[in-house]
Chain A
Amino acid sequence: MHIKVLYFARIKEAINYSSEDVNLPDDVESITALKHWLAQRGEVWANLFSGQLVVRAAINHNLVDDLATFDDGDEVAFFPPVTGG
C-alpha cells in the first residue's frame, strides 16, 4: 500500500524533512503499526516513534487515535500535541 506521510514541528525538525511517499508492507495498516514500522528506521526514528514521546496522528486531515486504520492513497500526518491559541 502507498500512502503519503507528513511530519510537523519537532518531529519534522528531528528528521529534517516534512513529507514522503511510502510503500508499506501489507500488515502495516494502522497508526500503531506505522509508528512501529517507522521506529525501525534507526535511532532518530526510534526516539520519535517507539513511545517515549507523545505523537498524535491524523488521517486525511482528521485527528485519530492509534487504533485507526488507513487505506491506499491516504494522507497520514504525525505531530506533537498541539499548542495553538
Chain B
Amino acid sequence: MVKVQTEDFDVGMVLAAMRHGNPSIGAMVSFVGLVRDLNDNASVTTLTLEHYPDMTEKSLQAIVDQAKHRWELLDVVVIHRVGTLKPTDQIVLVVVTSAHRQAAFLACEFVMDYLKTQAPFWKKETSPQGAHWVEAKTSDDEAQARWTQ
C-alpha cells in the first residue's frame, strides 16, 4: 500500500494492522523520516512538501514493486506526507514485513534510497532568513547507485 496524504500517521496503528491475522510474518522493519530543526546550518521553522499528484503514488508503487521483485517480502507500506510541516513532525513511513529479518532490513533501506532519488517530492524550507528550496544531495544518488552495483 502506498499513500500520499497531508494528515499525520500513527506508526503503532499501521504496524498493528499489518501484523493482524498474518502469522507468517517473522520480521517487520520500519523507518520514519522526520523534519529536523537544523539543515545546512540554518534553523528551520517550517518545511513544505510539494509533489506531482498524478505521478507520485505510481512512482512509489514502482519502487515497492522493485523491492518485492528483489527480496521475498510479505508486504510493504509507504506513507508520505505533503503540505506544510514543522520540526519533529513525521514526513515518511516505510514498513516492510517478511519471514526473516534480512530481507526486511535491506528492502526498507532500498525503498528509502529509491524514494529519495526518484519519487517526485520537493522540499521548501522556511527559516527566519527566508524560504529556500532544499538542494538534492549527491550522497542520496550514491546511496541509490550502490543497489545497482
List residues of chain B with CB under 8 Å of any chain A CB. 33, 49-52, 54-55, 58-59, 80, 91-92, 112, 115-124, 133-136
Contacts and interface: CB of A to CB of B under 8 A. Distances in A.
Given A83-B116, A84-B123, A85-B121, 4 more contacts: A58-B52, A75-B54, A79-B122, A84-B49
3 closest cross-chain pairs (CB), A and B: A84-B121, A81-B136, A9-B122
Interface of A: 6, 8-10, 54, 58, 61-63, 75, 77, 79-85
Contact of B123 (A54, A58, A62, A83): A83
B122 A82 contact: yes
A80 B80 contact: no
30 contacts: A8-B50, A8-B52, A8-B122, A9-B50, A9-B122, A9-B124, A9-B133, A10-B133, A54-B136, A58-B55, A61-B54, A61-B55, A63-B118, A75-B54, A77-B120, A79-B120, A80-B136, A82-B118, A82-B121, A82-B136, A84-B51, A84-B80, A84-B116, A84-B119, A84-B121, A84-B122, A85-B33, A85-B80, A85-B91, A85-B116
Q: Tell me the dominant secondary structure on chain B's binding face.
A: mixed
Contact of A83 (B55, B58, B121): B121
Nearest to A81: B136
A26 to B, nearest CB: 27
